[in-house]
Amino acid sequence: MEHFGYLFATYSIIFVAIFLYVVFIWQRQSRLESEVRALEAKLKALAEPKHESAAAEPGAKPSP
Amino acid sequence: MARKIVTSLGVLSLILVIAALYMVFEYVPTEADEGIVQRIFYFHVPCAWIAFMAFGLVAVAGIFYLWLGGQIWDDLGHGAAETGMLFCTLMLISGSLWARPMWGTWWTWDSRLTSTFILWLLYGGYLMLRVMIDDSRQVARFAAVIGIVAALDVPVIILSVRLWRTIHPAVLVTRQGGHGLEDPRMVATLLVSLAAITVTFAWLFLVRFAELRMGTRLEALARGIALAEVRTGDI
C-alpha cells in the first residue's frame, strides 16, 4: 500500500471540491430566491397605491 | 420537466460515482509498474476530458453570442467556463499528486503540463473579467472572444505528447499508436469513471446555467420595476 496517501488525498480533494461547488451554487440559489421575494414585495408596493385610489373613488374607471 | 431532468441527473451522478469508486478501490487490478498510485488516473483522465469539453462549449457559446447576440449564449458560456474551471483545477491537482511519487516532483514545466496550466490561466482570466467589469454587454463580448481564443489551446494540449518531447505518459493512445490499457477491467473502470464525471458535470452545469438564466431574468425584471417606480413617482 505504498503511496496510498496520495491516492486518498486525490479522491478526497476531488469530492471536497465538488461538494464546495454544490454549496456555492446552493448559496447563490438562496440569494436569488431572496431577490425574488424582494422584487415581489416591490411589485406589491407598486400595485397597492392604485387599489387605494380606486377604493377612494368608487365611480372612477380603473387605470389600464 | 427541467427540474425532473436535473434531479434525475443528480441521482444518476451519485449512483455512478459510488460505482466508479467501488471499481477504482476494489475491482480494478493494481498496475505493475506504477502501483496503487496509478488509480488516480481513473478520475484524472475524466476530469481532463470534461475540462476540454466544457471549454469547447465556452467557445461554441462565444461564437453564437458574437453571431446572434442573445444573452442565453453568454449565460451558457459563463456556466460552462465555471464548471470547466472546477474540473481543470481538479485535473491539475490530481496530476500533481500522481507526479510526486512517480516523477519525484509536484510540478515540471513539461509541454503538456505547461499548455494545460496556460489553459487554466486563460479561463481564470475569463472568470475574473466577469467579476471586474460592470457593463454586462461589454463583458459578454470580451468573454466570448477570450473563450474562443482560449479553446485553441485544447488541441495543443491533446497533441503536445506527439508534437514535443514530453515526460507525460500517453496512456489511452500510446506514442506507437496502440492503447495502453491492456486489462479489460481497467478499460471498464475508466469508462464508468468517465460516465460518472460526465453526468456530474452535466448536473452541475445545468443547475448553474439555470441559475444564471434566472439571474438574468431577475435583473431585467428589477430594471423594469425600477423604471415603473420612476414613472409612478413622476405621476
Listed as own residue / partner, the contacts of B69-75 with beta carbons closer than 8 Å and 24 or more positions apart are B71/B140, B71/B216, B72/B213, B73/B144, B74/B140, B74/B143, B74/B144, B75/B209, B75/B212, B75/B213, B75/B216
| B17-71 confidence digits (pLDDT tens) | 999 999 999 998 888 778 888 899 999 999 999 999 999 999 999 999 999 988 8
B67 to chain A nearest CA, in Å? 29
Choose, out of A11, A28, A53, the residue to mutate when testing the contact with B (most B CBs < 10 Å). Answer: A11
The SS3 call for residue B58 is: helix
Lowest average pLDDT, out of B49-63, B66-80, B105-119, B152-166, goes to: B152-166
B28: nearest Cα among B198, B191, B179, B195: B191
Which segment, A39-43, B78-82, B102-106, is predicted with the most confidence on average? B78-82
| B191-209 confidence digits (pLDDT tens) | 999 999 999 999 999 999 9
Q: Pull the grid cell for residue B226.
A: 425600477
pLDDT of residue B180: 67
B93/A contact by beta carbon, under 8 A: yes
Q: What are phi and psi of B60, to 5 degrees?
A: -60, -45
Assess contact for B202 and B77: CB atoms under 8 A. Answer: no
Mean pLDDT value of segment B97-115: 89
Query: pLDDT band at residue B125, thresholds of 50, 70 and 90?
Result: very high
pLDDT of residue B206: 94
pLDDT of residue A64: 47
> For the whole model, what pTM was predicted?
0.85
The SS3 call for residue B35 is: strand
pLDDT of residue A40: 83
Which segment, A35-39, A54-58, B48-52, is predicted with the most confidence on average? B48-52
B49: nearest Cα among B206, B200, B198, B187: B198
- A7 with B221: Cβ contact below 8 A: no
Lowest average pLDDT, out of A6-10, A59-63, B205-209, goes to: A59-63
pLDDT of residue B128: 92
Choose, out of A4, A10, A34, A48, the residue to mutate when testing the contact with B (most B CBs < 10 Å). Answer: A10
pLDDT of residue B193: 95
- B94 with A18: Cβ contact below 8 A: no
Domain segments of chain B as ranges: 43-175+182-231
ipTM given for this complex: 0.84
- Chain A residues in contact with B47 by the CB 8 A cut-off are 14
- Output the average pLDDT for chain B: 88
pLDDT > 80? residue B159: yes
Query: pLDDT band at residue B171, thresholds of 50, 70 and 90?
Result: low
Residue B39 CB: number of other CB atoms within 10 A? Answer: 26
Which segment, B36-40, B83-87, B224-228, is predicted with the most confidence on average? B83-87
Q: Which amino acid is residue A38, in one-letter code?
A: A
- Residue entry with cell 514545466: B109
Interatomic CA distance for residues B41 and B47, integer angstroms:
10
Query: pLDDT band at residue B117, thresholds of 50, 70 and 90?
Result: very high
Assess contact for B83 and B231: CB atoms under 8 A. Answer: no
- How would DSSP label each residue in B63-78? HHHHHH--HHHHHHHH
Q: Chain A 9-28, CB below 8 Å of chain B: which residues? A: 9-11, 13-14, 17-18, 21-22, 25, 28
- B204 with A13: Cβ contact below 8 A: no
For B99, half-sphere exposure in the C-beta direction (CA atoms, 13 angstrom radius) is 16
pLDDT of residue B89: 95
